[in-house]
Structure 1
Amino acid sequence: MLKEKILNRQAGIITYGMTPPKSSHPAEKLAEITEKQYERLKDLDLDGLILYDVQDEAERTDEERPFPYLKALDPTLYSKSYLDHWKVPKIIYRVIGNHTKQELGDWLRLDAADDRFSVFVGTSSSQQQITMRLPEAYELSGKLNDRLMLGGVVIPERHMKKNDEHLRIKEKVDGGCKFFVSQATFNVEASKNMLSDYYYHCRENGIETVPILFNLAPCGSQKTLAFMKWLGISVPKWLENDLLHSADILDKSVTLSLKIFEELFAFGLEKGIPIGCSIESVSTRKVEIEASVQLVKDIQSLIDRKLNVHVTV
């Protein structure tokens, strides 16, 4: 069970991230899209399914968006109306700055007797008008729903500029977060630097590390790569060169993703940090979605192999 794995600080948690379908689709089209995704993912050994709260983010950058923004269904509505038969735990992302205290309070009180999971997300730009900040949302969550397993976002690349991402993690844990999910990960050095500072900070202060799920997303085209960079995902120059000059960019990105996660997972095992993985496809192209599904299987095999060796040693 996902709740127990998080609370027991278990390494190897695997989730899959999905963007809900566009809200403009008619009901029959939404059902068709949902069924296709369900058929692809139902046999995977997932601990949880992440449902994103997609925003326009146009204020974050002056660069033109590679793909047009189309409003998606609210992730809670999508979970309840279309995915309720799928019993895998759903982790609902909520962009907090868009909600009033009353709106978030009403959402927190939903299904109060059930175990729920959510990742609260701040605004993508300091230019955006907000109605609530993350600390306020954490406090409200603690007061209104003690069964909500709260998660936070971690950005290793931010650590390279400010050297304080490990302190942000600590602050969010103090606010109630029990696990973290990164943005798409391509920079091993940034991730290990953050993990190292987090580990030694926790050791020096006598506190336990919490699960951190590193996000992996296959990249199957130059346009997908451009979209990832537009989203703010940091792609090292050497890796971008390898992708753009490879004979098969999708296959190369999957191979590199596996190597990145293998290094981070081994680093976590060595330090006692419970590292997990969240996989997604930022593209709607069938070939990239299928590559993300295969990546789940490959990551599961890698985790099982590494955990077996770790236990034996």
Structure 2
Amino acid sequence: MSSLEASLKDPSRPTFLHGLTPPLDSTTPDAARTIAAKFVARSRVLASDGFIVYDIQDEPSRSGAERPYPFRQLMDSASYAAEVRAASGKECLVYKCVNDAEFENWIRKARAVHGHRCLNVVGRPSADGPAKGPTTKEAMALVEKTSGVSFGCVCIPERHTDEYASQRGKAAPGEHLNMLRKQQAGAEWFVSQAVYDPAPTIRLLRDYGDACRAAGLTPCKVVLTFAPCGRAKTMTFLKWLGIRVPEEAERRILDAESPVDESVALLCETLEKILDETQDCGVPLGVSVESVSIFRKEIDAVHELMRRTQAIALDKRGIKWRVVWEDAAAPSSSGVPFGPVAAVAALSAAVAAVVALAVASVFLRAGAL
């Protein structure tokens, strides 16, 4: 079991992740390797358990509004995650949307060629149009039967509101029941959509904890995602993605002298409120940070957000903790090549291994001092 996999399954401690998106699909292998190395050089000072590499899909029917940032086809998430792992020595949680006619082959390659052990199964971006791949239920079954792979799913607090339930003719919110069904289908953790409004998240976590107790199940870990915002355009994009941003929160951020710094402060307060209100619900939590744009100030703010949310999450546990560094030269224990792609020439694989040996990453060690 990889250290990332162990962390995601361990209810006794929080998991800390740093999210990123792959470069454009047209990026050459050498350029992708360079981009991954630059990302790692900046992020290796953060005490993360690993990285999330997203699978970004076009979502033309998400809302009636125009997409603030145009969709561009990106590099395959599994391929790029292999580059990030080779450069950092840390494992990646790799996202994969089920809307792919080659989904089963993708799963096989993600494990056998790229050596990934942790995947996140994401449903179709829209119910409109013909399905290109398996249903989410079918996709989970395919992943579960793949040897050496564990998987999780997403959870969306915005779907756990009275307003959302009413729009769909439901008497009450049911996202907690969706989570329960996915857990019963083999999901071992959940990662939330970016959170700006604590109320739906608090309600979802409490209802999910109650549902697990009623079913005689132990709740899976839920990793809460936070993304800073420093511009009106980014705020528009967050809301286009379906993220619920209270009006007072939006005004507080955009009217501030430094919007991006204000968003970090607000998100830290949001995490504290969630932790305080859910401490007795039995659901173990983690934190993930990401930037939803390429705006430099927002990217820089991700690092501050990671440090501050991590400290909040650990301090709430009431124990002393520290951050230490260690060599990140961890060879693969899975029997598959530890490098960008198994098909790469032996020389390239050797170079990747040397790079991995030279990288020092920061990891978290928590416990009594």
TM-score, L = length of structure 1? 0.92
Q: Distance in 1 between matches of 2:286 and 2:84?
A: 27
| Secondary structure in structure 1 of the residue aligned to 2:52 | strand
Q: How far has the Cα of 1:29 moved from its partner?
A: 4.1
Structure 1 or 2: more helix by fraction: 1
Corresponding position of 1:240: 250
1:308: which partner in 2? 318
1:115 offset after TM fit, Å? Answer: 6.1
Letter in 2 for 1:235: V
What is the 5 A alignment of 1:92-107? 92-100=94-102, 102-104=104-106, 106-107=108-109
State the shift of 1:28 in Å. 5.0
Change (3 A) 1:165 1:79: same
Task: Compare 31-40 and 169-178 and name the one that shifted more.
Answer: 31-40
**Distance (whole Å) between structure 2 residues aligned to residue 24 and residue 3 of structure 1:** 31
Distance, in Å, in 2 between the alignment partners of 1:226 and 1:89 is: 32
Moved more, 301-310 or 241-250: 301-310
| Equivalent-residue separation in structure 1 for 2:93 and 2:107 (angstroms) | 18
Tell me what 1:73 maps to.
75
Partner of 1:156: 157
- What CA distance in whole angstroms lies between the structure 1 residues aligned with 2:216 and 2:301? 41
Cα distance, 1:202 vs. partner? 1.7
2:147 is equivalent to residue 137 of structure 1: no
Would you say the 8 A contact 1:11–1:273 is kept in 2? no
Alignment deviations for residues 208-267 of structure 1 (CA, whole Å, 9 cap, x no partner): 111001100000100111111112211112211212222221111000100111122233
| Corresponding residue of 2:54 | 52
- Matching of residue 183 in structure 1 with residue 193 in structure 2: yes
Q: What does residue 257 of structure 1 align with? A: 267
The corresponding residue for 2:216 is 206
Moved over 6 A (4+): none
Shift of 1:8: 2.7
Superposition deviation, residue 93 in structure 1: 0.3
CA distance in 2, matches of 1:27, 1:204: 50
Q: Structure 1 residues 221, 47: CA separation in 2 closer, same or farther (over 3 Å shift)?
A: same
**Coordinate RMSD, CA, aligned:** 2.1
- Structure 1 unaligned blocks of 5 or more: none
* 1:178-217 CA distance string (max 9 Å, x none): 0000111011110111111111122223211110011000
Q: Paired residue for 1:271?
A: 281
Between the two proteins, what is the percent identity of the paired residues? 30
Unaligned runs of 5+ in 2: 166-172, 321-366
Q: Which moved more, 1:217-226 or 1:71-80?
A: 71-80
Cα drift, residue 284 of structure 1:
0.7
1:115 to 1:93, Cα distance in 2 relative to 1, 3 A? closer
1:108, 1:144 within 8 Å by CA — same for their partners in 2? no
- The Cα shift of 1:275 comes to 0.9
Aligned residues: 310
Aligned to 2:12, what secondary structure does the other structure show? coil
CA separation of 1:101 and 1:41: change in aligned 2, threshold 3 A: closer
Q: 1:101 to 1:305 in 2, by over 3 A?
A: closer
SS of the equivalent of 2:88 reads: coil
- Of 149, 167, 176, the residue aligned with 1:166 is 176
After TM superposition, give the deviation of residue 288 of structure 1 in Å: 0.8
Q: Secondary structure at the match of 1:56?
A: coil
The answer as to whether partners of 1:215 and 1:277 remain within 8 angstroms in 2 is yes
When normalised by structure 2's length, the TM-score is 0.78
Per-residue CA distance 1:124-153 (angstroms, 9 max, x = gap): 2110321211110111122232x2120100
Picking from 4, 12, 23, the partner of 2:14 is 12
Counterpart position of 1:121: 122
Counterpart amino acid of residue 6 in structure 2: E
Moved more, 74-83 or 222-231: 74-83
Give yes or no for contact 2:110–2:116 (8 Å, CA) kept in 1: no
Q: Is contact 1:268-1:275 (8 Å) kept? A: no
8 A Cα contact 2:272 2:312, kept in partner: yes
